[in-house]
A and B are shown apart, each in its own frame.
Chain A
Amino acid sequence: MSQANALMNNTAQTHAWRAVCTREDLVLNSGVVALVGTTQVALFCVASTSGASRLFAVDNRDPVSGVNVIGRGLIGSLAGDLVIASPLYKQHYRLEDGTCLEDAALHLRTWPVRTVGDVVEIDVS
């Protein structure tokens, strides 16, 4: 993998896909948390109308409280955006890009995420 990445270095984008857990570990329409190095990544699996499900990876740390709880929040849809509500003080963050609906100054880091067979990977580049 690292070799492949090295070869792609000159193209527009560099990926560093890293396995974090298996599909089995996910909970449909809810969140789980993986430890990636010292970073905590909240993984959400949202069922879509087509029957397939979409994956999102966002920072588990709640920027308001500084506590690692985002993965235990509730998924929702507000004005067309999929959002996660912080379980402590209920701010909503867009799963797509981590922006906060209530306060533009708040933001959750997000990572590209994919599955390869049974393995869930995030791009830590």
Chain B
Amino acid sequence: MNTTVASVKDLQTLIVVGNGMVGHHCVEQLIAAGALEGYRIHVFGEEGQRAYDRVHLSEYFGGRDAESLALSDASLYEQPGLTLHLGVPVLEIDRARREVITAKGAFGFDKLVLATGSYPFVPPIEGAEGHSRLVYRTLDDLDTIRAAAANAKRGVVVGGGLLGLEAANALKSLGLEAHVVEFAPRLMPVQLDDLGGAALKARIEALGVGVHLSRATQSISAGEEMRYRMNFAGDEFLETDLIVFSAGIRPQDALARQCELELGPRGGVAIDEHCRTNDADIFAIGECAAWNGSIFGLVAPGYQMARSVAAQLCDLDAEPFFGADMSTKLKLLGVDVGSIGDAHGALTGARSYRYIDEATSTYRRLVVSADGKQVLGAVLVGDNSYYDTLLQYAQNGIKLPADPSSLILPQSEGAPTLGADALPATATICSCHNVSKASICSAIDGGCTDLAGLKACTKAATGCGGCSALLKSVFEHELIARGVAVDKSLCEHFAFTRQELYAFARVENIESFEQMLALHGKGHVGCDICKPVVGSILASCWNKPIMDPSLVPLQDTNDTFMANMQKNGTYSVVPRIPAGEITPDGLIAIGAVAKKYDLYTKITGGQRIDLFGAQLHELPDIWAELIAAGFETGHAYGKSTRTVKSCVGSTWCRYGVQDSVQMAMTIEDRYKGLRSPHKLKFAVSGCTRECAEAQSKDIGVIATENGWNLYVCGNGGMRPRHAELFATDLDDATLIRYIDRVLMFYIRTADKLQRTSVWRESLEGGLDYLKAVVIDDSLGLAAELEEQMQLVVDRYECEWANALKSPEKLKRFRTFVNDKSADPDIHFVKERSQRRPARANELNLIPVAETVR
């Protein structure tokens, strides 16, 4: 058919050893380059899991599981011609026979790619074994650490580098008192200078992590108060329950040694600029490879090598590898750390500008060339907002401003930014995927008109994500440059976004749709887009009864009739059952109502009971009976607080550590009736076993021994997203305060019909920004948000109870205004002892008196 496609017997066999981030990236690039037309590919992974995101490993303790850390869908490896062997280490390479030997047998190869990564270096210390000799590298390592942390109080990390601090963060999120022991006189000796290291130390100590510098562990013995005692020089010691070694990595080059490939002077498989070893058919990429004697322990250079090898194997133009920029931007234990280029000012004639703020432990250093024209390097501790601009200066040789110190001095307007237009076309925007400004521009010229599409087609900002903000600014700048106006109008009546209308309502005290339309809109009617949006905004702000005459015409049908319309025009009714706790009498009352009105009854996922099949005119009677039995409306019809799910907690459960039911009731009682851009679901679990599934909710609360951990912005549904750990060990009052602030900030800034999960992903600055706003009150909004929430809480009333008091409001609940009969076209049939809507093909089986038109 196509002459370039090799027939099966012509296929060569390509083996990739290692399924870490770099090995995986290589496979992805190979597939993209069409390698499956020329190769049968076998991938061998030593670990049991498919390639996962090692950069975000510590999130494994923050609630993410192995699958959510995975770098691809399992289906990627299910294509014909590609076989993934997990848990199958390669034991030997037989270069003479062109075979790799595994426990599953020998596999022949034509080409071989080594992507075996690295392993943690554990210095030979007497007494280091078992839980005093843990490492932090793989998911299995993390499971071991988790097991060791049970019943432990204190954990020590040996090594104050990047990975050591990540490991300390992991120990901290396991609830341990974490300590870091570093041999060098400062933290992160490779990336930081002395002053930067000191600022980082101060910040980390403020977080409750012990930092011990210039300490060499000489031996480990049994402890007196804890399991182990670490003995340092000079009779100093530190007791601990577990020890994690993170004292650097070593290239995993055992296979290369065994098959006698050439090695680098300090280990690693020696490669040339084409990532080729001294055996022309064998390549090495990532942390197992040594180019020019150096190992590159970051993901971006590994990806660069992977791309180069994939291109060569597919006979495409390959970019040679001539070393990599080791600049890096990190958040360690929540502290911003950045290091660019020649951070130590080691080059001849280099001069430095330094900014030191001892009050907040912030440090910035700018290293410039002798002629003062170019940025050579930089160190940042405490605020990475300066990073992107400095990196662009350094990487693209952009000429420095007359006063270079302005690049690191605090500005009232925040960090100086280099406008997207100032970047040359060759500027690298995304270094993980090597996407230049030029390729972004050509994607836009190729018809890419939204950010999501741009990310999908260029892969920019899909690696570490660090360039997201820059990408967005380049994208918007380029759109504007092309004369494309980004229309953010809500609908033809309002040339504003939901957020802008919300601000108008607040600032101008707008309380009706008519006012909003007259002041900021067009026409005098509105439409089915803007009316519910404005209705929801007014309810979020002022919480007036939605059945007020001026508000009724704004609501969607479900809000208007305070019930959920089903496919046959009948409604379902959901009484509120706070926290899912219900008395036998309550159950009987609901059962009696369901029986009397012949309602189909089903338990919902939110621990409530849904009653289906009520006609419009039956709703007031049904609710009168439910309210008489002590129930309130469950707002199942609204874009509003739905349920707070809970487990039984410490009251009954032998594992529970807090009263989750009481907390769930407190939360449900507080936020019931809160209208928001989309529905809100909550859950409270009484212990870390998480039976209430709080991590799949907009607001999730999980009990700890010391209080509550708060998770935010999760959801189930079409695109599930785990909630993220937001704050830990909160007392009751702080928990409620934070929830108040998060929700009101969401209501204030979210787009219409935007769930908290999507909102959170669209927040520039992400979770850290949200934490800054809510926890640190960086915008000075906290008190205002709380007040606004309190107003909504104070004005709560059950909408159904309110409606039942007013004959005028009840007028609407008539199927026909001139006739008491029910809708003759609604038909039910029985199924599993309950009734359900009849299907079209069942209608002629029903004896009916009236004609169906």
Contacts and interface: CB of A to CB of B under 8 A. Distances in A.
Interface in B531-576: 531-532, 549, 552-553, 555-557, 560-561, 565, 567-569
A112 interface: no
Contacts of A43: 817
A28 B549 contact: yes
Nearest to B851: A38
Contacts of A30: 552-553, 560, 812
B515 interface: no
Given A46-B525, A67-B567, A68-B825, A28 B817 contact: no
B817 A33 contact: yes
Contacts of A73: 528, 557
B811 A72 contact: no
23 contacts: A20-B818, A21-B818, A25-B817, A29-B525, A29-B553, A30-B560, A30-B812, A32-B814, A33-B814, A33-B817, A34-B818, A47-B524, A49-B524, A67-B568, A67-B569, A67-B825, A72-B569, A72-B616, A76-B527, A79-B492, A85-B527, A85-B528, A88-B565
Interface in A54-109: 61, 65-69, 72-79, 82-83, 85, 87-88, 90, 92
B527 A72 contact: no
Contact of B567 (A21, A34, A76, A88): A88
A27 B556 contact: no
Closest 10 CB pairs of A and B: A76-B527, A29-B553, A87-B557, A77-B525, A85-B528, A25-B817, A67-B569, A74-B528, A35-B816, A35-B819
Interface string B506-537: 00000000000000000111111101100000
A33 B824 CA distance: 13
A3 interface: no
B442 interface: no
A72 B525 contact: no
- What secondary structure prevails in chain A residues at the interface with B? strand
Contacts of A83: 527
Interface residue tally on B, bucketed by range: 35 or more
B823 interface: yes
Contact of B552 (A21, A25, A27, A48): A27
A65 B567 contact: yes
Nearest to A74: B528
A75 B525 CA distance: 8
Nearest to A72: B557
A75 B818 contact: no
Contact of B818 (A25, A68, A78, A79): A25
Interface of A: 20-21, 25, 27-30, 32-35, 38-40, 43, 46-49, 61, 65-69, 72-79, 82-83, 85, 87-88, 90, 92
B840 A66 contact: yes
Nearest to A67: B569
B166 to A, nearest CB: 49
A101 B535 CA distance: 24
Contact of A33 (B556, B561, B815, B851): B815
Interface string B479-499: 000000000000011000000
Interface string B362-383: 0000000000000000000000
A67 B815 CA distance: 13
Nearest to A26: B817
Given A27-B812, A76-B531, A77-B526, A38 B569 contact: no
Nearest to B558: A87
B850 interface: yes
A31 to B, nearest CB: 9
A69 B552 contact: no
A74 B556 contact: yes
A32 B616 CA distance: 11
Contacts of A39: 853
A100 to B, nearest CB: 14
B553 A28 contact: yes
Given A39-B853, A73-B557, 14 more contacts: A21-B817, A27-B552, A29-B553, A32-B814, A33-B817, A38-B853, A46-B525, A74-B556, A75-B525, A76-B527, A77-B524, A78-B527, A88-B565, A88-B567
